């Protein structure tokens, strides 16, 4: 994709996910939004203005072009103190991959898993991260659409008992940059 074009404005869920992981940094700028959400300069500036207007971010004093999350921004995006080490996060991803593989082998599973992509801090350099946000692409095994009940059941099974794994439909995170951690 050309860095000057954007397929569409990211979903509110994707913007809040960006805001959550931006909290790990003391400050951020529109280039971070552009990289993370795969948007053009104009859209990144609009998102920055909207976050500031809603009170979720504020300019960093004496640093033009830089913003930081406000307490409201951290609260609305679900920020908590980082608790996962990178080593533990990698272990959780390995376990998740095993569960995804096993789920797809079940003959009675109502949906099939296609791909799982990790977003946010797990792809960064921080040693401690908040949690692991994952976009999951699922498809129907039969005809028709995947029901919310079937989606929730699949998410519950592949999440296991880990509250640190945050699962989202991949379509809801359109355009965000991430790393494929499992694929059928």
Please report the domains of the chain, with CATH numbers, ordered by start residue.
12-77 (1.10.10.10), 84-183 (3.30.70)
Reported pTM: 0.80
**Tens of pLDDT, residues 115-149:** 999 998 899 888 899 899 999 999 998 778 899 99
Q: Which of 176, 153, 184 is nearest to 34 (CA)?
A: 176
The pLDDT of residue 175: 77
- Tokens 């009675």, residue located: 108
The pLDDT of residue 6: 41
Spans in the chain with pLDDT lower than 70: 1-7
The pLDDT of residue 5: 42
The pLDDT of residue 163: 92
The pLDDT of residue 71: 96
The pLDDT of residue 10: 92
The pLDDT of residue 25: 87
């Amino acid at each position: 994709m050309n860095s000057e074009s954007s397929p569409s404005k990211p979903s509110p869920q994707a913007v809040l996910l960006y805001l959550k992981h931006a909290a790990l940094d003391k400050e951020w700028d529109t280039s971070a939004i552009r990289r993370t959400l795969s948007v053009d300069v104009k859209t990144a500036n609009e998102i920055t203005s909207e976050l500031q207007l809603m009170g979720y971010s504020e300019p960093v004093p004496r640093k033009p072009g830089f913003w930081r999350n406000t307490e409201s921004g951290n609260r609305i995006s679900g920020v908590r103190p980082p608790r996962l080490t990178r080593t533990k996060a990698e272990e959780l991803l390995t376990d998740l991959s095993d569960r995804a593989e096993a789920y797809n082998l079940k003959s009675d599973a109502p949906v099939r898993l296609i791909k799982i992509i990790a977003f946010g801090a797990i792809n960064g350099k921080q040693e401690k991260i908040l949690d692991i946000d994952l976009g999951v692409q699922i498809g129907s095994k039969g005809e028709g659409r995947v029901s919310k009940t079937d989606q929730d059941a699949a998410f519950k099974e592949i999440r296991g008992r880990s509250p640190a794994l945050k699962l989202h439909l991949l379509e809801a995170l359109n355009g965000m940059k991430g790393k494929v951690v499992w694929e059928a």
